[in-house]
Amino acid sequence: MSETYAERLAQGNPQAAAFQLGQIIEAVDTARAAAEETKPKVWHFASTADARAAADQEQVADGDVVVVESERAVGFVVVIGPVAITEQHGAFDAYSKLGKPAREYCKGVYTPSAERAEQVAIELGYKLADPSAAQTARIAAGLPIAFETPRMLIEPADVLHAFGARLNVVDTGVRINPATSQGEWWVLVEGATEEDQRRTYRGQWAFAVPVATAAWDVVTVERVLPAPSA
């Protein structure tokens, strides 16, 4: 097996190898510090009016993220004006004023700001103004998203929207109903929250649908999807 350059250097001059390692560590630390420095800063304010005034007075920089929890609003500063990425915007400019998705605005220069603002909003449980961005942000954060799927493609661990409730899917499959000799799709579920259990049943319960119906039926589920590869 051939030796690496570092191994040969360590054998010939341990002090030089230690010095080189120190330089590598310093370079990595410097790169990390520089990356942190370029990230948009996140500022919290008591009101959206206060945040707008701070941006107008250049107390927060272009591209910084502004958060107002009392109004459930999160946005980022465009020059000196905050633009909300949440549905709630208060004194911020509404997201629609950008005229295009935030990642495409100004040739994408505000993409890091939009991504950071979306991350903060998702963590706080706020609804984003752009449904597509909300889905992307939730996938990136490893959170479930709601989408429509054929009933027979429901998987265990999905959350099924049915009977006016959200139901955790415990198991599912296909069987022959002995009473009718017909195939049926079945699912074992449990209310996702206490409120969902009050609306349906307190414990686990099952229901079935004829395969002929389940084959074309489309339902809404929530599922954690894998993040797309870079």
Range 188-214 average pLDDT: 96
pLDDT, residue 7, reads 55
pLDDT, residue 206, reads 97
pLDDT, residue 96, reads 92
Q: What is the mean pLDDT of the chain?
A: 87
Give the model's confidence band at 230: pLDDT under 50 very low, under 70 low, under 90 confident, else very high: low
User: What order of strands is seen across the sheet that includes strand 165-177?
Assistant: 145-150, 218-223, 159-162, 165-177, 182-191, 205-210
pLDDT, residue 36, reads 47
Give the model's confidence band at 22: pLDDT under 50 very low, under 70 low, under 90 confident, else very high: low
pLDDT, residue 132, reads 85
pTM above 0.75, yes or no: no
For 38-70, the pLDDT digits (tens) are 689 999 999 999 999 999 999 999 999 999 999
Q: Which residue has the higher pLDDT, 87 or 28?
A: 87
d(CA 154, CA 171): 9
User: What order of strands is seen across the sheet that includes strand 65-68?
Assistant: 42-44, 65-68, 73-78, 81-84
Range 103-109 average pLDDT: 91
Q: Which residue has the higher pLDDT, 205 or 22?
A: 205
For 148-176, the pLDDT digits (tens) are 999 999 999 999 999 999 999 999 999 99
d(CA 37, CA 30): 10
Selection from 150, 7, 5, 125 nearest residue 74 by Cα:
125
Which residues are CB-contacts of 75 (< 8 A; sequence separation ≥ 6)? Answer: 51, 65, 66, 82, 83, 84, 85, 86, 89, 92, 93, 117
20, pLDDT greater than 90 = no
